[in-house]
Amino acid sequence: MSMPGSTSGKMPSPPATKMNRKSGRTEIQKTYKLFIGGKFPRTESGRYVNLCHPRSGKHLASYCQASRKDLRDAVVAARKAQPGWAAMSPYLRGQILYRIAEMLEGRAASVATEISECSGTSALSARSEISATIDRILYYAGWADKYSQVFGSTNPVSSSHFNFSNHEPTGVVAAICPDKPALLALATIMVPIILSGNSVIVLASEKFPLPAITLSEVIATSDVPGGVVNILSGNRDELAVHFAKHMDINAIIDGSGDNEIAATLKKGSSTNLKRIAVRKLRDGEWSGKKGQNPYFILDSAELKTIWHPVGT
């Protein structure tokens, strides 16, 4: 399905080019690819979408339209990477998340321009979103080595045992993002998932995926192991059912805000008892207190209780 201001088709080969009249050189038109296993493959289906500026109609870029096979490849990469990521200390995971924010800060100007061009928002609004995204990543990075102490507990029991409740990662988690705010919502959904040791497959904003794919370029050059974060661009209606029915996805965080997508996820996951959490926030709420909630971490964490005999 094509988005307003976009067209779909087979992936061009070789990449489209055009002549810059001022410099006299040929410009390479970027094709935004998928991010799977720390690499940037084109979709196996060969499908792509041409994204145009919503007001001027100017061609901005082409991006891949992920298929079911791409999703399956992302799950394989996520499953392989998850144990090693979970084995890292919470402090180290927090430092790696901090590094993502640090590197995104260095690209803030270009990403803000990208947000403004692809979504049609003002430059001021785009700069505000990128700043809020960086702050949001830093906020959750600080929780990486603290949430366990805050949300865990030592439980009183009547027998001679120590009894502890603590949170552990669920495993492979899928995340579906809303259309707006494309980058801030993605960070708000994704970072609480991975900080506890999960790996994630993210379906980016369907209409405005470019900032999400640029974020994947930041992640690829940070210290996040390949496969911990996988980002797909594509059609929610097409992929939601496969997210729900895939037997090796342990949980889904649905931030689409789409009732039909929510129904598809619930129906599809009923066969495998997959956990589903919903982030139904309006556009303005993503940047406020409702979007910055440490309890989001618990939606993709399993509460484990340990009994240990006293004196042994």
Rounded-to-integer distance, Cα 78 and Cα 170, Å: 12
Looking at mean pLDDT, say which of 22-31, 48-57, 227-236 comes out highest: 227-236
Asked whether residue 84 is assigned to any structural domain, the reply reads yes
When pLDDT is cut at 50, 70 and 90, the band that residue 273 belongs to is: confident
How many domains is the chain partitioned into structurally? Answer: 2
Tell me which residue has tokens 């094709």: 31
4-8, 118-122, 184-188: range with lowest mean pLDDT: 4-8
Asked whether residue 57 is assigned to any structural domain, the reply reads yes
- Same domain flag for 232 and 95: yes
- Same domain flag for 51 and 148: no
Domain of residue 239: give its range. 68-309
- Same domain flag for 78 and 111: yes
Helix (H) or strand (E) holding 22: none
Q: What burial class does residue 307 get, using C-beta atoms within 10 Å of its C-beta: 0-12 exposed, 13-18 middle, 19+ buried? A: exposed
Rounded-to-integer distance, Cα 129 and Cα 113, Å: 11
Task: Give rounded-to-5 percent helix, strand, coil for the chain.
Answer: 45, 20, 35
pLDDT at 311 (0 to 100): 73
Predicted structure pTM score? 0.87
Residue 2 has pLDDT above 70, yes or no: no
- Same domain flag for 10 and 128: no
Beta-ladder partners of 305: 165
CATH number at residue 200: 3.40.605.10
Rounded-to-integer distance, Cα 250 and Cα 198, Å: 10
Residue 292 has pLDDT above 80, yes or no: yes
Asked whether residue 285 is assigned to any structural domain, the reply reads yes
pLDDT at 212 (0 to 100): 93
- Same domain flag for 19 and 126: no
Asked whether residue 78 is assigned to any structural domain, the reply reads yes
| Rounded average pLDDT over 59-67 | 87
- Same domain flag for 79 and 25: no
- Same domain flag for 198 and 258: yes
Rounded-to-integer distance, Cα 261 and Cα 267, Å: 10
DSSP states of 199-256: EEEEE--SS--HHHHHHHHHHHTTTPPTTSEEEE-S-HHHHHHHHHH-TT--EEEE-S
Residue 233 has pLDDT above 60, yes or no: yes
Residue 111 has pLDDT above 70, yes or no: yes
Q: Which two tokens stand for residue 116?
A: 């403004």
Asked whether residue 295 is assigned to any structural domain, the reply reads yes
Q: Which two tokens stand for residue 2?
A: 């094509």
Question: φ and ψ at 266, to 5 degrees?
Answer: -65, -40
**In terms of Cα–Cα distance, which of 261, 300, 3 is closest to 151?**
300
Asked whether residue 133 is assigned to any structural domain, the reply reads yes
When pLDDT is cut at 50, 70 and 90, the band that residue 148 belongs to is: confident
pLDDT at 200 (0 to 100): 98
**In terms of Cα–Cα distance, which of 193, 201, 261, 251 is closest to 231?**
201
- Same domain flag for 57 and 148: no
Residue 229 has pLDDT above 60, yes or no: yes
pLDDT at 30 (0 to 100): 75
Residue 16 has pLDDT above 70, yes or no: no
Residue 89 has pLDDT above 80, yes or no: yes
| Rounded average pLDDT over 55-79 | 90
| % of the chain surpassing 70 pLDDT | 91
Asked whether 260 and 238 are in contact (CB, 8 A), the reply is no
| Rounded average pLDDT over 137-159 | 87
Asked whether residue 1 is assigned to any structural domain, the reply reads no
- Same domain flag for 176 and 85: yes
When pLDDT is cut at 50, 70 and 90, the band that residue 296 belongs to is: very high
The pLDDT tens digits of the residues spanning 121-147 come to 899 999 999 999 999 999 999 999 998
- Same domain flag for 53 and 100: no
- Same domain flag for 13 and 135: no
| Rounded average pLDDT over 185-212 | 95
pLDDT at 12 (0 to 100): 47
**In terms of Cα–Cα distance, which of 58, 59, 53, 57 is closest to 12?**
59
Residue 149 has pLDDT above 90, yes or no: no
When pLDDT is cut at 50, 70 and 90, the band that residue 4 belongs to is: very low
| % of the chain surpassing 90 pLDDT | 59
Asked whether residue 164 is assigned to any structural domain, the reply reads yes
pLDDT at 19 (0 to 100): 52
What b/e string do you get for 65-96 counting C-beta neighbours within 10 Å, with b at 16 or more? bbbbebbebbbbbbbbbbeebbebebeebbeb
Question: In the predicted model, what is the mean pLDDT of the chain?
Answer: 87
Q: For strand 47-52 and strand 59-64, is the pairing parallel, antiparallel, or unpaired?
A: antiparallel
- Same domain flag for 29 and 127: no
